[in-house]
Structure 1
Amino acid sequence: MADATTIKGGKVRVLLGTLPVDPEDPIVYAAPCGFTSKTVTLSKALEDTQGVSCTDPDAVSWLLRDAVSLSISVSGEGVLAVESLPAWLAAWKDVDSVPVKIEVEMPTTLLTFTGNMHVESMEWTAPNGRRVTANISMQSDGAMADVTTP
């Protein structure tokens, strides 16, 4: 039996995009420093409908489920890197969602999700005499295009 092919946490990257001054120029993405752990959650919202038996109306029915929406959320934690704080604060303050790219680098392919996300929350923990840590949560805003490249 062959061992599973796995990747290390550094191969999953969350990058914030900076909108160019000239709309003809591409968005520039960079990974803010500080995350020591990231969680990417792909969600599908479902709507339940009670099924019915045409031959036995008194039978306990099964639930029928329809997919109604997709969503991606990102949470990350780590040290509060002073170099990254302006980018995170700007994204949090922005009334509009910001460009984000999520990369998962595998041995032979790169999976990329690209779209807009809102910085939903930022939390700092500041124990006396120790390093300040940060937790950041982001939610997708509209479609996140996924592309797999060799």
Structure 2
Amino acid sequence: MAPATTTKGGKVRILLGTPGATPEDPITYGAPCGFTSKSLTLTKGLEETQVPDCLDPDKVDWIGRDAVSLSMSVSGEGVLASESVETWLDAWESIDSVPAKIEIEFPAKTIVWTGNLHVETFSAEAPNGRRVTSSVSLQSDGEMVRTVE
């Protein structure tokens, strides 16, 4: 038996993009500082249809399911870092989604999703005498293209 090849939490990155000065310039990606925990959820929307038995119409129908949509949600939490608070606030205030990359780095490969995300929620918790923490949730806006590097 061979052990599973795993990765650590620091190898999962949420990167936000800054467009270049012109449309021809590449987008520059950077990971806002402060997260101590991140989460990625991939969702497939399904529609259900009852499928009858043609030979026995009185038989209880089985449910057929058709995939109708894909979605990605990303969240992170940690300390509210001065270096990144305006990045998150700017993205939250934007009427448009922001360019983003989500990376999961393993020893032999890195899985990357590239597309646009909306900052859905930004929250800060400020307990007296302790560091301010924050949490951010993002939702995909259109296709998130997966590549393996």
Distance 1:21 1:89 in 2: 21
Percent same amino acid at aligned positions? 62
Partner of 2:148: 148
- For 1:134 and 1:47, how far apart are their aligned partners in 2? 36
Structure 1 equivalent of residue 55 of structure 2: 55
What is the match of residue 24 of structure 1? Answer: 24
TM-score, normalisation: structure 1: 0.97
- Equivalent residue, structure 1, for 2:112: 112
TM-score normalised by L of structure 2: 0.98
Distance 1:57 1:115 in 2: 46
Residue 132 of structure 1 aligns with which residue? 132
Matched residue, 2:35? 35
User: Secondary structure, in 3 states, of the residue corresponding to 1:87?
Assistant: helix
Partner of 1:90: 90
Does the residue aligned with 1:92 lie in a helix, a strand or coil? helix
List alignment gaps of at least 5 residues for structure 2: none
Q: Show CA shifts across 1:4-47 (max 9, x none).
A: 11100001100000111211110000000001000011111000
* Deviation >6 Å, runs of 4+: none
CA distance in 1: counterparts of 2:11 and 2:32, whole angstroms: 14
CA deviations on 1:100-137 (whole Å, 9 max, x unpaired) are 00111111111110000000001111111111111100
For the aligned residue pairs, the C-alpha RMSD in angstroms reads 0.7
Q: The residue matched to 1:59 in structure 2 has which SS?
A: coil
Q: Deviations over 1:30-79 (max 9, x none)?
A: 00000100001111100000110111111111100000011111010100
The one-letter code sitting in structure 2 at the alignment partner of 1:21 is A
Determine the C-alpha separation between the residues in 1 that align with 2:146 and 2:41.
14
Aligned to 1:5: 5
Paired residues in the alignment total 149
Which residue type is aligned with residue 142 of structure 1? G
